[in-house]
Structure 1
Amino acid sequence: MHAASRDALEQSRSVLQSSLSANPAGGATGAKVGAELFQVVDVLEENRSLRVAVADSAAPVEAREDLTRSVFGWKVDESTLAVVLAAVAQSWSTPRDLREGLVTLGREALLLSAREQGQLGTVEDELFRLGRVVAGDPQFEAALSDRTTTADAKRALLGQVLYGKVTAVTEALASQAVARPEGMPADDLDALSRQAAELQGQSVAVVTAAAELSAEQQSALESKLATIYGREMTVHVQVDPDVIGGMVIRVGDEIIDGSVAGRLDAVRRALP
């Protein structure tokens, strides 16, 4: 996003946070607002002229707000409408940025609802594991990424995998992620997992090892990484026998390769 859109997002975010904090229903309100913001995004995605009109910074704010009320006022809760009105009142660099801003706010509302319900850690773990499932099945990921497939068909396919296995917040976030017209679902799910971790004041370390770590090993690794990086860490382990022994640790863009396979590769590269 350009600077104007980042400012617009921050202004809209403050309205979202005020709406959620003022509502006694807590997590239930956040879940409803998040789901309804995704519905608004779907309508804007399907109607380009509407998307352009509500994001037209050359038009009076009152006109954009009136149009928004006429389309969504009877479809969504007052808390959701307040967020959408705040968003369309801002100056976004492009209509696409407005749509992406509403996606971001919808995701934040759902994650905040999970935090209110004490489920944020569970949601973060479920999103990570789902991302690994998608990334590990090329055919499944290709089906979820196919731009010729409708959003409803993608959601139905994902639903067959998720039904009864994850929290409602995880299912809502994942369903929206796979229905997006661009990007790779596994990357989006990973980004959502990191966002959930950040809401808990943590960073994510993805550890690839030849075998599962014990609870004691994982706890010790989290403590060591927290000392190294100066912040709390949550560790996700994925098993890959090809590493042979040791482990590969990825924190953001930084990779620490302490695997046997990595050391062997280094030796091979050093040979003439």
Structure 2
Amino acid sequence: MVSSTLRGPSAEAARRLESQLSDALDAAGSRKTAEIGQDLLGLADVVRREPRLRRVVTDVSLDDSAKAELVRSIFAGKVADESVDVLATATAQRWTAPRDLADSLELLGVRTTVRSADDPGRVADELFAVSRALTENPELRNVLGDPARSVDDKRTLLQGILENKVLASTLRLVEQAVAGTHRTVALAVAEYQKVAASVQGERVATVRSAQPLDDSDQERLRAALGRQYGRDIHLNLIVEPALIGGMRVEIGDDVIDGSVASRLDDARRKLAG
């Protein structure tokens, strides 16, 4: 899956990197896959943090082999060979904007980290739970968004909260979310959750219902949405008593509102003329 924000040459470059990485991961175990995922997230941070390096490796006027050799001289022995190979290949690609290289490395790092988990579906569920916790806890949200606090300080805080409560892959992605590449930590976690679902070929549907849905209701809803959208569906379930009854489903830009509260609002508007 290539990020929908990438356009033109960047989208094609990201697809090439994804194909190369997928071949490498097919032969890697979960531990090696986790290592590569962490490498790619780290490389994305370095490329963003070092403008001179970013300019050089995305400059199409420079010799591709020289750029690849530069990358290998800097990173060989510090990250896995497979990770260096991805970045070396990236230097030979054309990028619509220089920042797209780091964005692509981050996306590949997220996908690889999810793939390293024994249960990628659980990673998606845990990321959603963290996203909800951030939404419902403004104090934590403000601490993580405080520019006066260092990234390391924020990561230490998250480790204290989540360690031994979520999968290692989930914790690694939540730690990455505070790197500042998204507008807020909550938005980063939400985006990573969508990527985690996509690793299993799923789309994400946020379902708000007045009462909890039992397993059979969830399965029927998942099957119905799957038929409608032609993809497996990952459900994010939120209980909102204010809906009174029924449910509201959000999937991409589509909204299916079958809640009692919505129908009552429609009736009030009609009565008011």
TM-score by length of 2: 0.90
Displacement of 1:82 in angstroms is: 1.0
Residue 109 (structure 1) aligned to one of 104, 108, 112: 112
| Cα deviations by residue, 1:247-268 (Å, 9 ceiling, x for unpaired) | 1111111111111211122122
Q: Does 1:46 align with 2:44?
A: no
Give the share of equivalent positions with the same residue, in percent.
36
Q: Does 1:6 align with 2:25?
A: no
Verify the 8 A CA contact 1:243 1:260 in the aligned structure 2. yes
Q: 1:192 to 1:174 in 2, by over 3 A?
A: same
Q: 1:173 to 1:192 in 2, by over 3 A?
A: same
1:34 aligned residue: 37
Name the amino acid aligned to 1:44: V
Distance 1:230 1:165 in 2: 34
Name the amino acid aligned to 1:92: W
Q: Does 1:15 align with 2:20?
A: yes
Verify the 8 A CA contact 2:48 2:99 in the aligned structure 1. no
Displacement of 1:187 in angstroms is: 2.4
2:3 aligned residue: none
1:141 aligned residue: 141
The aligned runs of 1:91-240 (5 Å cut-off) are: 91-114=94-117, 117=118, 119-240=119-240
Displacement of 1:203 in angstroms is: 2.0
- After the TM superposition, which parts of structure 1 deviate over 4 Å for at least 4 consecutive aligned residues? none
Displacement of 1:170 in angstroms is: 0.9
Displacement of 1:33 in angstroms is: 0.4
Displacement of 1:105 in angstroms is: 1.3
Verify the 8 A CA contact 1:155 1:179 in the aligned structure 2. no
Where do 5+ consecutive residues of structure 2 fail to align?
1-5
Q: 1:169 to 1:49 in 2, by over 3 A?
A: same
Verify the 8 A CA contact 2:45 2:102 in the aligned structure 1. no
Q: Does 1:87 align with 2:90?
A: yes
TM-score by length of 1: 0.90
Verify the 8 A CA contact 1:40 1:72 in the aligned structure 2. no
How many residue pairs were aligned?
A: 267
Distance 2:166 2:139 in 1: 22
Distance 1:151 1:244 in 2: 42
SS of equivalent to 1:149:
coil
Where do 5+ consecutive residues of structure 1 fail to align?
none
Displacement of 1:211 in angstroms is: 2.4
